[in-house]
Chain A
Amino acid sequence: MNIGSLFIIAVSAIFINNFVLMKFLGICPFMGVSKKLDSALGMGGAVIFVMTIASAVTWLVQRYVLDKHGLDYLQTIVFIVVIASLVQFIEMFLQKSIPDLYKALGIFLPLITTNCAILGVTIMNITEKYSFIGAVVNGLSAGIGFTLALIMMAGIREKLDLADVPSAFKGVPITFITASLMSLAFMGFSGMKIG
């Protein structure tokens, strides 16, 4: 797997198939944590971190446990358990050895235990038949794409606080409408061929 194809995986995961705006995964943290830019950055950091590590671990599990023993049908449940325990483990590890990072990630780390975007990216790594490095790059870039969407949304929502939105549409409804318009804009990347 050369640099070129890794670049394609990265661009595709960040822009063309953005997890939030094109695949509609991880909508709930996208809606929940995009109110303020600071928390959006924290959440984004945690997602990048977990997606990268989860991609690596689940790829190894798939290759050396599931494939080896013909247990493919257990993929979903195994990945959920692996990701959840992995996040808990990382949390304990960080709390003990890198308290600064632990404080920076704060509540967001346990929150993403059940983030569907994480499960999505790990299963995509397998179905797209990425190599180990490819899977890690895909996880990292999917996290960056998620963070990008989250930051853009946070910027818009801070501005929307001042807008004269009709009362029926205040809060979540206008956020969903904004998300849909962002998704329309991201359609500009659809069908993009690179490399």
Chain B
Amino acid sequence: MAEKFLIKTSPHIKNNLSVAKVMWLVVVALLPAYIHTFFLFGYRTVWVSLAAVAGAVVSEALMQLLMKKKITVYDGSAFLTGLLIAFNVPPSIALWKVALGSAFAIIVAKQLFGGLGYNIFNPALAGRAFLMASYPVAMTSGWKAPAGGFLSLDPALTQGFSGPAVTKFLDSVTSATPLNALKTARAALNDPELDVPAREAVEQLFSADSIVHSFFGRIGGCLGETTALFLLAGGLFLLIMKLADWRVPAGYLGTVALLTWAFGGIDGIFTGNPLFHLFTGGLMLGAFFMATDMVTSPLTRKGKWIFAVGCGVLTFTIRMWGGYPEGVSYSILLMNIFVPLIDRYTVPVSFGEVKA
């Protein structure tokens, strides 16, 4: 067997990075945000993340045992997937659903494709999409008011939305996340029959106060949607350590900012508030920690730009016109589908090659 003589093809350049080192460093980058959510949601954070991580690690070990492969749960990739799923669910969701989502992510989206390195879709996002399809109510209404924080709207304004006139097109009126509130307000704005302070609601959401709250995470949302500041810090750590390519978050955030500034407003062109869209929802988490996944993003530089801009355009489209208030997870999944094609058509010209 190959143990005796180590025969390998090039490249022979050694790098002191290993899979385990990369994964655990990404986990470290997520820690500040994680600790912050502990202060927001208390022990609920711990239980949700324990369920998610346990579900992921146990299913990874089980699958590798069944397929008689080397068990590699210590490399942290299953741990990271679990942690990302915990960041992607509302805090008060039932714990077994979280664990089930993790199991789906690892078993179906990762191990059936051949394990780490072969998966087409980002496992954590596939898990989230699975949970969204299976338990849509639990996934979109289990918000919890963060300790000492704010729900996204003044109670006075929220009252305007809970009248009988509104319930005809709303599933729930406790619109706790800012993006939910924005979507509701925009819908109300376009419906002349409704007499609710929709314009005031949008203005309040776009106000400097609201932006500051979003940035420091005093808003409702999934665990990973509430901590723009700490996710940004963790993301910068990844960029500095060169664990993520800066092109992806730059292209992604830049596209979303530009599009929401240009077309996201309610008073015509260039009246939107890009900061609101950058700091709310899962954008920070998605742009820095999920779109940059080395396995499911393109290999080439040009491809990375295409991927990032595509994610941005899709996120903007879903946020503005989609049925869901947030589109980050779906955008990245959709662009994951295109990665093999992007890689295929952006192969760089080899040194010395002359175009025919």
Contact = CB atoms under 8 A, between A and B. Distances in A.
Interface residues of A, number: 30
Interface size of B as a range: 35 or more
Given A177-B112, A185-B129, A188-B330, A152 B323 contact: no
B118 A164 contact: yes
A193 B321 CA distance: 5
A156 B120 contact: yes
Which of A155, A158, A177, A193 neighbours the largest number of chain B CB atoms within 10 Å of its CB? Answer: A155
Nearest to A190: B323
A159 interface: yes
B108 interface: yes
Interface in A53-85: none
Given A164-B118, A177-B108, A181-B121, A191 B113 contact: no
B265 to A, nearest CB: 18
B341 interface: yes
Interface string A145-161: 00000011001101110
B109 A185 contact: no
Given A164-B118, A188-B322, A192-B321, A181 B334 contact: no
Contacts of A98: none
Nearest to B114: A164
Do most interface residues of chain B lie in helix, strand or loop, or is the interface mixed? helix
A1 interface: no
Nearest to A178: B120
A185 B337 contact: yes
Interface of A: 37, 151-152, 155-156, 158-160, 162-166, 169, 174, 177-178, 181-182, 184-194
Interface of B: 67, 108-109, 111-115, 118, 120-121, 126, 129-130, 132-133, 314, 317-318, 321-324, 327, 329-331, 333-334, 336-338, 340-341, 344
21 contacts: A155-B341, A155-B344, A156-B120, A156-B340, A160-B113, A162-B118, A165-B113, A165-B114, A166-B111, A174-B113, A177-B112, A182-B337, A184-B130, A185-B121, A185-B334, A185-B336, A187-B330, A192-B317, A192-B321, A192-B323, A194-B321
The 6 closest A-B pairs by CB, nearest first: A191-B323, A188-B330, A164-B114, A185-B333, A163-B118, A155-B340
